[in-house]
Amino acid sequence: MPSNKSVSDAPIVQFTNCRILRDHRLQREDLWVREGKILNPEKLFFDEKGSADLQLDCKGSIIAPGFIDVQINGGFGVDFSLATDDFKSGIDLVSQKILSHGVTSFCPTLVTSPPSVYHQVLPQISVKNGGAHGAGILGAHLEGPFISKEKKGAHPEHCLRTFEAGAFQDLLNTYGFLDCVRIVTLAPEMKRSSEVIRELTKRGICVSLGHSVANLSQAEEAVQHGATFITHLFNAMLPFHHRDPGIVGLLTSDKIPAGRRVFYGMISDGIHTNPAALRIAHRAHPKGLVLVTDAIAGMGLAPGRHTLGQQVVEIDGLNTYIAGTKTLSGSVATMDTCVRHFQEATGCSIEMALEAASLHPAQLLGIEHNKGTLNYDSDADFLMLNDNLYVQATYIAGQEVWRQDASSM
């Protein structure tokens, strides 16, 4: 039966012999794609009287939404917190290379830096769709410099800042440019943070709580003012205490405004978070868990010395430390590795592991109508994976942008 060209001349591709992650479960059905979107086959058959122009046999693969990494500091020798003349080529390199990890969209992340770095780098980050050139850029994640000295982690102390009398103006002066900013991590116990959270939220910027010594009531107040995310749960915050669980207590707080969900990032690399801690968080609040890599420039490179913003870091196996210390500084884990480790450590379903890297980050950013699902009319950004969750191919807007070389499988 010929396609109904009065509706669209674009070819229709039918992916067959696959299990699709849709409505929180793997379903044996075909995936239909046209013009970069997921197509409803019933409308195609009954309204358009159309059919596929091309059929692709997926050989039993899982098809899942593309992964979304909302915290990635760099990789492959590129550090997003370094103001270089070839910054754009660096970000292009990372966006191309992470396609093999199943990442189809990401938020390039800058750690605490001097204002001059933000002023130089942020105008060079443009929100754009992904494609054969690389993963899409959803906007920058600015982690600091408005964070706690006590929980600075790998962030340079001399660059940390506080909010003065004109708090939001301080933030604007520091960053210089908010057009491309999607997430800001700050410490909610800082004076005047409430007005900053409100102003950022008004502008559609997600506020994340992290690198903080906040108690639970300070964290709850920040959520009531609009904060919706926690940066790398358990890392760079007060440890859980039964009398005041701190930011961690948000996972089971009864003070979250009705209809709101608090999401939290976790670095599931087997190093930053003990498997038991992963299990505790997952069982307490499974729908808020967002897998992040927190990857640094050394991801994809050999062990040795690399940078993270203003600091020198040392990679030793999968551990990354500030050089000469035992302070963890980002990770070298890839997103697909984090998904597999999370599934293994928690014993959760394959569906839950995949959604923690796709649906949940999309919901956090409010883009779940376009990304993070395989619902009809959403963007055709998806992965083919085997049963062990190794990525076999990556698609953006329905086009294959990366495929595992058959000889190395």
Active-site residues, by number, are: 294
CA angle 185, 64, 295 (to 5 degrees): 35
| Amino acid sitting at position 137 | I
Q: What one-character DSSP code corresponds to residue 320?
A: E
Report phi then psi at 168, rounded to 5: -65, -35
**220 known member of a binding site:** no
**232 known member of a binding site:** yes
CA distances from 168 to 32, 174, 191 (A): 46, 10, 12
CB atoms within 10 A of CB 122: 20
279 neighbors 266 (Cβ within 8 angstroms) = no
3-state secondary structure 202-221: HCCCEEEECCECCCHHHHHH
**328 known member of a binding site:** yes
**4 known member of a binding site:** no
**19 known member of a binding site:** no
**268 known member of a binding site:** no
**272 known member of a binding site:** yes
User: How much of the chain is helix, strand and coil, in % rounded to 5?
Assistant: 25, 25, 45
**24 known member of a binding site:** no
**215 known member of a binding site:** no
- The count of C-alpha atoms lying within 13 angstroms of the C-alpha of 164, restricted to the half-sphere facing its C-beta, is 7
Sequence-ordered alpha helix ranges (H) in 235-291: 275-284
From the annotation, which residues make up the binding site? 143, 154, 211, 232, 235-236, 243, 272, 328-330
From the annotation, which residues make up the binding site for Zn(2+)? 143, 211, 232
From the annotation, which residues make up the binding site for substrate? 154, 235-236, 243, 272, 328-330
